[in-house]
A and B are shown apart, each in its own frame.
Chain A
């Protein structure tokens, strides 16, 4: 994000005249609305905002945002976003990608974007499938996923997007669900974070992978399956009857019962969004035995890549002449004639 004077806009100002062309009922609609709803609250300026995407269902996103937008090629959105931001660090850069785009064909770029810490927001729509190419399994699909390319079930193990991000050096990691209202909170925190803010959004592809997340997105069971983390607050779920404690023997998390709301007695941890080890533990908790950790899991800024590049450009230029003729004539020269 940038320290610009806030601009007053409404949700309407962020909508384009283009017909939105996702399948009816696709989770992408909810995410689009959440972003359009968040923008006025951020005081962001449409003219100063750039949405960059790769290829896939999610990557059509820029066409629906009344901002500057660049729908690039498969997997390469992080590279284009890097050039945009280095050429003009004043711009608010958002990157929209999916599990295939961002973690398969573009996995290498995602790694380097995160380690460099370019100031931008990454919205990774994870639907555990290739939607646009008609339903092949993706790098986040669970083993055994049957798809046109894996009629007998997939046999490779999936990547955990948030664990990948942390492993690549991310300084901000959040998780949200397409239709969940708290998604806007994650967007706001991501925007406020200086550096690459990585937001994984569980997105329902109703055509090729319907309800793949329902075991934790289902409203009825949500209290028992969702752990919404908040900085400084205890890691509680199941209406406060369960929590996450540290098990020294496991070097990891353990679910504990909380009696009479006395979470401290049960050893439940307070969430600290600047604690990298805790963040790793939370994103690695295998769902089933553990709830799904959601919300802003990690937020601990470090100097940004674009900031460092600008600083070095300025320092290296200081006191140096930009006389091109002198540069050309630099070194040992000789004169002929006259």
Chain B
């Protein structure tokens, strides 16, 4: 991904040399795999890209149904790509249900590639079609390429003697082969990947490769007409360096490991399975050689309880979940705040409330992160904007947690967790280490160790059990300032509550001032965002600025405490627009903290913002 500076130079409209492709099929059709491999080939071709995997909550939804459709969208181009794209240019529909649920998003004149072999009477009726749309002319505003991919796949894998069902599994590779041809891509990396994946079942690897080649050959030989000629998308200009693709979940895991290393601490990760956060537990459980201990607990509460215990014992405690699990951890978060232990809590947000939309994205846990505990219980909150940003944010969370002896909430979301983008791999040695030192000086004989004595930033000392002469007791009950003994007195509670709040506010002096991403302070409109809305906001602001509108983009990483210059910065604009995938949570915090007239733009459909939606809101603000 290009740097911020690079982005600013590149104000080409998003659609100049970029394509949006959506693969959609039944959950069993392997669309996520197709998308993932197409992403890899796109990255290797040097395009910039962003993806949006969108799959059903059910593991094996009934075949052919509308709610069983799984889709993968990729947006790639020869310039900086910031979103997964508004409207697809190409829709690959593997069955009637996939066509029905996706075709309305396709831009007018876009291309539909449909597997006519899957448009049986039964599948048509499951999708609620009375007539076959491939034949009744109802798709006239788009270009249609109707192919019997099922049949051609079966034909291509015939030599391998697979059963019908097994053979049809290669259909996604046939599709991928055709897509690779369309965009002038090299098949070899996919062949290598198939050989590695099916090393133990070479006949399955061969069959898949045969299907891949057949799909590619079909594109080459069939005379599909001018509209279907291969399109080469040039490599996007990017900063020189070594790249790979990365998802948010991977980048957070790597960032946590890097953070622990920079702090010089072993890491203890307590987790409990929950969508879409489990991927972090999966990644970290394979990294034991980096001093990582992972613990799949009996529930969300045990996961954080164990992480707190590990922090008390001198490790970096980390726990992760999604909204409902974070709710369960709430009481323990208060304990970590009260005992002033370092802890990182990752929330991969999903649609809520309650079970809500487990596989859909939303950013509606901001209130929960900032305010969601009993008592006055402040904690620093950091929000990740993109998969590649997640690495640095995770390191920053570890740094703040250990420097200030506090739990830190790291907000990401289902979109960032699953989406992939090119990542210019960081040089770990370029990060400044922040080694932790435990307190180990015992007081003179007869003297007292005060576990709640404080340094200049108000952090208390971290003492590892096992250290001679420093035995002390901590707990969730109110502590005497300094001594740490139980103390219910009125003046002490006032003092300790104030100290805890001030300590967290002190973080603002330790993080950079808020920058303006696009435009400058003092313009007419500021569009203020946080988290994964970064991409669409940036594109919308870029377009508006290209039209000469006076609009700037401000994107927050530090949600709490807010950057120290933010109030002044916001007040330099006439108007403030806050697009969020919730009902207006950051907007409320900004109004509360700065008494500014922040206006909301809200979307809670489980889908990321479209650029056009934000663009329209910008126009409305400026013209209104």
Contact = CB atoms under 8 A, between A and B. Distances in A.
Interface of A: 16, 18, 46-48, 50, 52, 62-63, 66-73, 76, 78-88, 90-91, 108-109, 111-112, 309, 312-313, 316-317, 320-322, 324-325, 327-329, 331-338
A313 B289 CA distance: 7
B309 A46 contact: no
A324 B428 contact: yes
B49 to A, nearest CB: 12
Interface in B464-500: 464-477, 485-486
B289 A320 contact: yes
A87 B313 contact: yes
A71 B257 contact: no
A332 B335 contact: no
A313 B241 contact: no
A336 B473 CA distance: 55
Contacts of B334: 73
A87 B44 contact: no
A117 to B, nearest CB: 14
Interface hub of A47, A62, A72, A322 (most chain B Cβ within 10 A): A72
B243 A50 contact: no
A147 B178 CA distance: 75
Contacts of A48: 465-466
A313 B270 contact: no
A83 B474 contact: no
B466 A83 contact: no
Interface residues of B, number: 74
Contacts of A69: 471-475
B471 A66 contact: yes
A309 B254 CA distance: 22
B309 A84 contact: yes
A69 to B, nearest CB: 4
A88 B314 contact: yes
B293 A87 contact: yes
B155 interface: no
Contact of A73 (B241, B332, B427): B332
B426 A328 contact: yes
Ranked nearest first, the 4 interchain pairs of A and B with the lowest CB-CB distance are A83-B309, A79-B305, A71-B475, A337-B240
30 contacts: A47-B471, A68-B472, A70-B339, A71-B476, A71-B477, A72-B308, A73-B476, A76-B302, A76-B332, A78-B302, A79-B297, A81-B309, A82-B306, A86-B295, A87-B313, A87-B314, A87-B315, A88-B315, A91-B313, A109-B305, A112-B298, A112-B302, A322-B289, A324-B428, A328-B425, A328-B428, A336-B238, A336-B240, A336-B243, A337-B238
B465 A334 contact: no
Nearest to A63: B473
A113 B50 CA distance: 44
Nearest to A309: B293
Interface string B277-309: 000000000011111010101110111111111
A317 B289 contact: yes
Given A67-B471, A333-B242, A80 B312 contact: yes
B244 interface: yes
A334 B288 contact: no
A189 to B, nearest CB: 24
Contacts of A73: 331-332, 334-335, 476
Contacts of B238: 336-337
A91 B315 CA distance: 14
B258 interface: yes
Contact of A87 (B235, B268, B485): B268
A116 B582 CA distance: 41
B239 interface: yes
B316 to A, nearest CB: 10
B219 interface: no
A83 B310 contact: yes
A94 B133 CA distance: 70
A73 B375 CA distance: 15
B289 A72 contact: no
A233 to B, nearest CB: 38
Contacts of B235: 336
B483 to A, nearest CB: 10
Interface string B439-475: 0000000000000000000000000111111111111
Nearest to B303: A79
A91 B305 CA distance: 18
B216 interface: no
Contacts of B352: none
Interface hub of A87, A312, A325, A337 (most chain B Cβ within 10 A): A87
A327 B291 CA distance: 14
A333 B464 CA distance: 41
A118 to B, nearest CB: 10
B43 interface: yes
Interface hub of B268, B289, B307 (most chain A Cβ within 10 A): B289
B244 to A, nearest CB: 4
Given A79-B302, A91-B313, 13 more contacts: A47-B465, A47-B470, A62-B475, A66-B471, A70-B473, A76-B301, A82-B295, A86-B309, A87-B315, A317-B288, A327-B287, A332-B44, A332-B189
A83 B468 contact: no
B189 to A, nearest CB: 7
Contact of A52 (B46, B243, B309, B466): B309
A109 B306 CA distance: 11
Contacts of A71: 473-477
B261 interface: yes
Contacts of B468: 47
